[in-house]
Structure 1
Amino acid sequence: MPLLTALTFSRSRDFSARARALGTFIGSVIRWFPPATRRVDREVLRVFPHMARSDRLELGQSMGRNMGQTLYEIYHCAEFQTLVHKFSATGPGLVALEEAHAAGRGAVIVSGHFGQWEAIRAVLRSRGIETGAVYRPQKNRHYQRRLLAGIEAGGKPIFSTGEKGTRELVRHLRQGGFVAILLDEKSADGVSMPFLGHNALTSLSAARLALKYDVPLVPAYGTRIGTGGQFAVDFEEPIPQSDAVTMTEAFNASLSKRILETPDQWYWMLRRWQGAQDPR
């Protein structure tokens, strides 16, 4: 249980310092633990085939530092929410979301494992907009309990993946609720479409919900600034309504652009392209 121990260590230090300490630990694991290094290296080479090995190792370690901090912040999300004054919030999507909320309409916010995605819900909550989230249950029951508690601290309701959670999510949207969905994990029943230059199985669920219930679909990203607890939260223009494939492709292009600009902000260990075939 070393990770659980690290996630719950002493609160005697500043919150951001504690998060950075876990980030340093995870970064070292990615850099020096061969299975983790090889896994990151494989995915980075897919997108950056000409990147030098030294640069790939540095990218992996930097990614690990960011992800370690992100994990700590989510695990202690109630405390993380009190730091919202350190976040900047910009973008036309924020105006669209505030207008939808004022009109009693729901909304779907889409993001990925990029930067600190919980900063998005923290910004919305600080403006009086409670935003639920979709959650994939974990196998480790102790980790599941603490992680779920952290996510719930960021906003409710929380919907588990699966049929029951989908029914509850639909009911929430129809009643004017907001929900945030991370759309960059491999989806076994998804459609193969471009992501970072290679086809990846991508779920159409977010776009289908936005179309069916006529709510805005807004890409949003919480980019970590430097090594501390500051974030630039950007809400992009809502994706124009057309069809689910076109809208989801637009999100993939949006997230791809962010990753290419700051690759260490994205979690490269997702096995994102597994099972998809690139066009010949």
Structure 2
Amino acid sequence: MASEKSKSLFYLLQYLPVAALLAISKVLPFDARGILAGHVVGFAVRWLPPFRKRVEEGLQRVYPEMPLAERTRIAAQVGRNMGRTLTEILHNKEFATKTDRFIAKGPGLAALHAAKAEGKGALIVSGHFGQWEAIRHFLKAEGLETGAVYRPNSNPWYEPHFLGGIREGGAPIVPRSNAGTLQMVRHIRKGGFFAILADQYVQWAEKIPFLGHMTSTTTSPADLALKYDLPLVPAFGLRDPNGRTIHITFETPIPHSDAATMMTEFNARIAARIHANPGQWYWLHRRWKNL
């Protein structure tokens, strides 16, 4: 009982800064919220040891020759982008009205429209890079509503806000679980679209190269694409330096072969995006736990 009370108190204390930001943001214009959150989270990631250590671990692994000053600059960028992105997700209903800020291109978009015309489902695979929710907002505006797989947050105070936000991007929203997978399968078999963020560590998964190091990587997107003969389209939403405009690229669908080869290709594609803009990837993830 005591441990449960301690855990509840920890979650509440963890949530309080988020609650404060949400309260302040309600009285601010949309862009001002993002700027404020970007500065707050940017400061935290750059200077608070628990966050900075996570970013440092990843950057030093991938870029061992990178000077400290450059790692510090990237850490601040990571925080600013994450602050803006999470604020946009928490206010996703309003963010959905900003589709005039999204500039989309790439052959994958035509492939998605073709799948829709044929009554087929499709899988969009992306990662925690730039502004990933902009992808689903754009697709919904195009008549290609896309559901998503999400990882439930353990904090019961924060979870309703986060889940409520991503529900605004398109339906259905399913948790990462066996039940969620079954719901997703039913949806894509009926011609529905789903987005999966495939850049996190997954225990017991296939070891596949990512940013130059082997690490556990989900093969679920490729497994589903192969089993149900669906296009697997990588898509990335790059945030412009102005902070507002999102450049969305729908890349050429990954050719069908075998699941490991297909996800190796996806890892190579997102790695290219990260190398070009390292400050827009979520380095706080412990992507190489098995090393």
Q: Secondary structure at the match of 2:147?
A: strand
Does residue 267 of structure 2 align to residue 247 of structure 1?
Answer: no
The equivalent residue for 1:211 is: 226
Q: Secondary structure at the match of 1:166?
A: helix
Identity %: 49
Does residue 108 of structure 2 align to residue 99 of structure 1?
Answer: no
State the 1:11 CA deviation: 3.1
> Which residues of 2 match residues 124-203 of structure 1 at below 5 A?
124-203=139-218
* Structure 1 gap segments, 5+ residues each: none
State the 1:213 CA deviation: 0.5
CA–CA distance in 1 between the matches of 2:243 and 2:70? 22
Does residue 138 of structure 2 align to residue 123 of structure 1?
Answer: yes
Does residue 246 of structure 2 align to residue 231 of structure 1?
Answer: yes
Give the TM-score normalised by structure 1: 0.96
The equivalent residue for 2:125 is: 110
State the 1:32 CA deviation: 1.3
RMSD: 1.0
User: Is 251-260 or 141-150 further displaced after alignment?
Assistant: 141-150
2:221 alignment partner AA? A
Does residue 102 of structure 2 align to residue 87 of structure 1?
Answer: yes
Does residue 22 of structure 2 align to residue 7 of structure 1?
Answer: yes
CA–CA distance in 2 between the matches of 1:182 and 1:170? 16
CA–CA distance in 2 between the matches of 1:193 and 1:10? 41
Retained in 1: the 8 A contact 2:205–2:219? yes
State the 1:171 CA deviation: 0.3
The equivalent residue for 2:57 is: 42
2:126 alignment partner AA? S
Retained in 1: the 8 A contact 2:219–2:259? yes
State the 1:10 CA deviation: 3.6
The equivalent residue for 1:220 is: 235
Does residue 68 of structure 2 align to residue 71 of structure 1?
Answer: no
Retained in 2: the 8 A contact 1:7–1:22? no
* Structure 2 gap segments, 5+ residues each: 1-15
2:132 alignment partner AA? W
Q: Secondary structure at the match of 1:88?
A: strand
Q: Secondary structure at the match of 2:234?
A: strand
State the 1:35 CA deviation: 2.2
Retained in 2: the 8 A contact 1:219–1:235? yes
State the 1:36 CA deviation: 1.5
Q: Secondary structure at the match of 2:195?
A: strand
Give the TM-score normalised by structure 2: 0.93
- 1:134-156 residue CA offsets vs partner (Å, 9 max, x unmatched): 01111111211111010000100
